[in-house]
Amino acid sequence: MPGRFLESYQSFPLASGDSLVTHAVIVVHGAERNANDYFTSMNEAATLAGRSSSTIIIAPQFQTSDDAPAADEPVWTSSGWRSGDLSSSTGPLPRISSYAAIDTILVRLGIRTKFPRLARIVLVGHSAGGQLLHRYAATSRVATTLTDIPIRYIAANPSTWLYLGPERAAGSGFAIPTSAATCVDYDDWHYGLHSRNTYANALPVSLVRQNLVTRDVIVMLGTADTLTADLDVSCGADLQGPRRYQRGLTLLNYMNALTPGNSHRLVTIPGVGHSKSAMFTSVDGRRAIFP
């Protein structure tokens, strides 16, 4: 990013590459913006999987003004980075979407002279990072250019999901909610496809839907993630269900009901709550991240 610098933690140098790397994991932090902790947890998972010597782990840091950023580091609002919004005009220019920053990482991973043996890229986000990943899976344009490198998107325990239409759970099915008149923004970005931001609006709705239906998306849920700490409880979020675990199951039911044949898959981590480390290092978590 010329004139702009996105801080990140890397297990191998992204700029120079490495001929031994066969697997790349981009792990996105949660609301606390503690990319260093996420980097540590993912390194532990890679070690347990026996893949640390062949995997580049990259943990980008999406900063807000509270993080004392340097002059050349873009900053976002606390909700804007997870939604793909443009960085603040008070930071370096031109402004950049947080999703475009991830695009830049993917482009660099795709340079074959730097990573000649790279065979797979997995993007993982937990909590707020999971929110980012589900929306990014629907809107990334760069993914279509890396035709020889499969890409997987793992959204773990996010507070909310992207819905591709106005229907929400109603009885045993899905319908436009009766509260739509009072919960007027329930289907706006980033809950739905109306009023999309600059990055998401660059694609037609039809292609956003196609991306989310066809891309390799894993919904990773801790079965004990049923508490309310840091849970989005806006009316738009509450229409997706009462807690993170239930919201994830409902999203899968929605995708299967309205877009049969979609590529979303469920991975549950029994007995785990809202813990990135327990999710990433679990046996099933490692199988998803390091297939």
Q: Where are the alpha helices (DSSP H) in the chain?
A: 35-48, 80-83, 98-109, 128-139, 198-201, 205-214, 235-238, 244-258, 276-281, 283-289
Please tell me the distance from the alpha carbon of residue 9 to that of residue 21, in angstroms, as a whole number: 16
Give me the pLDDT at residue 3, please: 58
Q: How would you list the strands of the sheet with 216-222, edge to edge?
A: 8-10, 55-60, 23-28, 120-126, 151-156, 216-222, 264-269
Spans of the chain, pLDDT less than 50:
1
pLDDT for 180 equals: 93
Backbone φ, ψ for residue 152 (5° rounding): -115, 145
Percent of the chain with pLDDT over 90: 97
- CA–CA distance, 141 with 213 (Å, rounded to integer): 15
Beta bridge partners of 155: 125, 219
pTM above 0.85, yes or no: yes
CATH number of the structural domain 8-289: 3.40.50.1820
Q: Mind listing the pLDDT tens digit for each residue in 145-154? A: 999 999 999 9
Closest CA to 106 of 208, 25, 40: 25
Quote the longest CA-to-CA distance of the chain: 56
DSSP 140-198: -SGGGG-TTS-EEEEEES-S----SSS-EEETTEEE--GGGGTSTTTTBTTTSSBT--H
Q: To 10 degrees, what angle do helices 128-139 and 98-109 make?
A: 70
Q: Which residue has the tokens 């990055």?
A: 199
Tokens 């004990």 locate to 224
Tokens encoding 277: 């480390």
Please tell me the predicted confidence (pLDDT) of residue 262.
98
From 8, 288, 290, select the one nearest 154 (Cα to Cα): 288
Alpha-carbon torsion angle 136, 290, 286, 142, nearest 10: 0
